[in-house]
Structure 1
Amino acid sequence: MSLFQQRKPKRFNHIPRRLRTSKDEDDLKTQWESVRGQGKHIGKRTISLPILLAILGMIIAIWFILTHYETS
């Protein structure tokens, strides 16, 4: 029965820091630089949260004003 069988322990491919070679560190640095450069997009514009909240506030204010204008 698989109910009473224990799971096998997991194996990890970990190399301690003192046993790593300098080649791995250089490779890690190049990988980090390539990942860092991916986040920079020139010309890409994103709308931030404060701007969205300001737009939402203006919509609610206009809605409130138009509702009271209609009932008056």
Structure 2
Amino acid sequence: MSLFKQRKSKSFNYIPRNQKSSRNDDEHLKTQWEAVKRHGKHRSKRAISLPLLLVILGMIIALWYLLTHYQTT
């Protein structure tokens, strides 16, 4: 039943006249992209994560509240 089949979108292989791309440019871009991807995977183990910072902030606020309450009584 062709009533429920969706049409495939058309794809065009248009290259502008003023664009002069060579394979070297494409390969250079791919190598740069691979370097960026590799660099992103190897993050430093010393970096403190956001949840840990939020827990520390919560502990500081709780301690501050307790000390303030202790001071007023």
Scaled to the shorter chain, the TM-score interval is: 0.5 to 0.7
Match of 2:40 in 1: 39
Letter in 1 for 2:36: V
- Percent identity between matched residues is 57
Q: Shift of the alpha carbon at 1:61? A: 0.8
Q: Shift of the alpha carbon at 1:35? A: 2.2
Deviations 1:51-70 (A, max 9, x none): 21221121111111122123
* SS of equivalent residue, structure 1 residue 58: helix
Q: Shift of the alpha carbon at 1:43? A: 5.2
Output the CA distance in 1 between the equivalents of 2:47 and 2:38.
18
Q: Return the TM-score normalized by structure 1.
A: 0.57
Q: Could you tell me which runs of 5 or more consecutive residues in structure 1 were left unpaired when the two chains were aligned.
A: 1-14
Match of 1:52 in 2: 53
- Superposed, 1:1-72 pairs within 5 Å as 16=19, 19-41=20-42, 44-72=45-73
Q: Return the TM-score normalized by structure 2.
A: 0.56
Q: Could you tell me which runs of 5 or more consecutive residues in structure 2 were left unpaired when the two chains were aligned.
A: 1-17
* SS of equivalent residue, structure 1 residue 39: helix
